[in-house]
Structures are given as C-alpha cells and as structure tokens.
Structure 1
Amino acid sequence: MTDLITFFKGLTPVSTESLEKFSDLFRPKLLKKGDYFITEGKVATEIGFLEAGIIRAFYRNKEAVEYNKHFFINPCFIGGYASLITGSPNQIIQQALVDCNIQVANFTEVQNLYESCPDLERGARKLAEQFFVQKEQREIEIVLLDAEKRYQLFQKDFPQLEQLIPQYHIASYLGITPTQLSRIRKKISGK
C-alpha cells in the first residue's frame, strides 16, 4: 500500500517541510462498500487520497441510467475536481465498490499552501496534467476503438478489477451492454 507522502513524492521532488504541512491537512476516513465520496448536485470541498480500495466515478442521466466514467484504484487522488476548481455543483458521483481507506483534506486549505510551498503546487500541476492525459486517452478510446479493443485495454489497465466488481459496471465503463460484454469475453477466451 502506497501512502500519501510516498505517492506525492513520486510526482515531483518535495521538501520535508512542505510534505509535513501537506500531510497534516489530511485525516483518515473509511468508506464502506456502497458509500459515496461525493454525489451530484453538491459543491465539492474535499480532496481525497485513496490508500486502499476501488471507487467508481459515474454520472446518472434523467432516466436514472448510470454510466461509469472511471475506476479509481489505489494509490490515487479522488474528488470532484471540476467542482473544486469552479465552485459549481458536482456532476460526477464517486462511490466505493469495496471498503476503502482514504485520507481526506479540505481543498481550500491545500490550495492555501501553494503560496508558501511552490513544490506542492508543482506536484498538483503534475497531477492535473496526468488526469488530463488520462481523460483525453479515454475519449480517444471510446471514439476510435471497437468494444473488443476497449475491453482488452480495460483488462490491461485494470487487471485486478474483473474479479472484484460486477460485470455490469465493466460493461457500463466500456459503453456496451452486459450481454455484449459476455459475448466479447466468450470470443476472447475461445481464441
């Protein structure tokens, strides 16, 4: 299990003083399976660091149909980033798929450290850049790859998830029905 400090130091060199100030802002929290880190319609105020567990990010349309956007697996940061930055209501729901250990901090307090700790701000920028690249890559995959190729990428990117989460969550993430996923899995296993 990678802790918050080790993960953040992996992004960029950070002074011990900055890391102490940063880690002092976080407190442990347990999300039980099915609990939400953030829901739609709420303005996000907290950022989290997922130490252990799996969280799905999804949105729900007006007909209450859910679409999985992303799976967060430890170690990583979680939160309603667009809401945190803009102050507008959150649209992407984040829910624990298994019991999760997280560290939580008030985002404004984290931002307040940037002035005196530019190394933390640099780390936050690098993290935002990584999220941007992941988002762009995901959008390209959805548009340019067929369902079988998207499934194969899912298996490569999330090798442990298939045995841990329901197949309908995987199908939703891939933009297909559970029946289509079953056919693809059968076809691939027969190769």
Structure 2
Amino acid sequence: MSNLKAFFNSITPISKESWNTLESLFIQKELKKGYNFIDAGQVAKEIGFLENGILRGFYRNDEAIEYNKHFFIGPCFIGGYASLITGRPNQIVQQALTDCKLQVASFTGIQKLYDTCPDIERAARILAEQFFVQKEQREIEIVLLDADKRYQIFQNDFPQLEQQIPQYHIASYLGITPTQLSRIRKRRTGK
C-alpha cells in the first residue's frame, strides 16, 4: 500500500484523513500472466493500481486482429477508464504480459469521496489530465511520425520493455509488422 500512497503524494499532497479513507477501499490482488484485468464488452466497475508487472491495452477488430494501444508498467493506474466514466461496455482489453501485483478498488467508492476529500478529487483530476495528454500525444505520433521515429519514442518511453515482452507486441503498438520492426532494429544497431 505504500507504493499507492507514494504515487498519490507524488501527484498532489493527500491528507492523513483522506488517505485513511481511500486506503480502506483498496484490496490487494494478483493477476497472472495471460489473464485480463478487463475484457471487451464488460462494463468497468473497478480501477486498479498496478504496483508491479506489465499489462497491454489492446483492441480486436472484426477479423480478430489485435492492435496494441498502450503498455502499462507499474506503478500506474489501470482500468477501462472510458467505461468507468460513461457506464458503457469497455472496448480495450487489458491483459497481463507478466504476473502482476495490484491494488483494486470500486471506482464508485472513490468517486463518493470527492465531496468530502477534495485532495482525492484533485488527484483524480490531475490523473485524468495526464491521461488525456498521453492519449493525444500517442495519436499525434501514430499519425504524423514514421515508424523509425515511433520506435525511438517507444524505446525512450519504455526502456527495458523490449527484453520483457514479445517483439510482435511492440510491432503492433508501433502500427507495423514484426518484419518491419526487425528491419528497423537492424538499421539502428547495424547488425
């Protein structure tokens, strides 16, 4: 739980009273490699704090082709955010690529704290703003930058991830084929 407290305090100071109330909402869980935190079509009810491990967020088209949208590396928050806010079915699956340790809470339970714990509401707003900026930046990168530049950004944003997950997941995230990724890597390393 100390990781969660440190994470919140790195965003904005949380009072002891607010922390005690918030902390009581979270339950420790583990998510084994290959299992999903949330599936497509499911209405999200919980938000998770990923203490350690790696998840991927992906969607699947009508031909069952998967497209990786995001990687989550602890510490960070996970969950079907659009579904949590709208109450509509989730579209992006969140799957564990490694065994993961989580703290999980009811999103409604957290929202109920906003009136009595303005510091919690402020933290939630800041997290939403950060999420929006990341999402917009990712959309710009995928549309305006070539694959070489996207790969360079991936390496900066996710150092060491290449050694921990299959290359086809990275290629999907970059919007290229595994063969294209292999060519880019060879050009960059000279091998």
What TM-score do you get using the length of structure 2 for normalisation?
Answer: 0.98
C-alpha separation in 1, matches of 2:146 and 2:6: 37
Contact kept, 8 Å, 1:33 with 1:99, in 2: the verdict is yes
- Match for residue 75 of structure 1? 75
Range with bigger deviation, 83-92 or 13-22: 13-22
- Match for residue 183 of structure 1? 183
Please list, as runs of the form range in 1=range in 2, the aligned pairs for 1:1-191 lying within 5 A after superposition: 3-190=3-190
C-alpha separation in 2, matches of 1:130 and 1:49: 15
In the alignment of these two chains, the number of paired residues is 191
Contact kept, 8 Å, 1:167 with 1:178, in 2: the verdict is yes
Q: Which runs of 4+ in 1 moved over 2 A?
A: none
C-alpha separation in 1, matches of 2:137 and 2:156: 14
What TM-score do you get using the length of structure 1 for normalisation?
Answer: 0.98
Contact kept, 8 Å, 1:2 with 1:51, in 2: the verdict is no
What RMSD, in angstroms, separates the aligned Cα atoms of the two structures? 1.2
Contact kept, 8 Å, 1:83 with 1:89, in 2: the verdict is yes
C-alpha separation in 2, matches of 1:15 and 1:2: 14
Q: CA deviation at 1:23?
A: 1.1
C-alpha separation in 1, matches of 2:179 and 2:170: 12
C-alpha separation in 2, matches of 1:83 and 1:183: 38
What secondary structure is seen at the aligned counterpart in 1 of 2:44? Answer: coil
Query: Which ranges of structure 2 fall in alignment gaps of 5 or more residues?
Result: none
C-alpha separation in 2, matches of 1:42 and 1:64: 17
C-alpha separation in 1, matches of 2:103 and 2:2: 12
Q: Residue 83 of structure 1 aligns to which amino acid in structure 2?
A: S
Q: CA deviation at 1:2?
A: 6.8
Deviations 1:119-144 (CA, angstroms, capped at 9, x unpaired) = 10000000000000000100111111
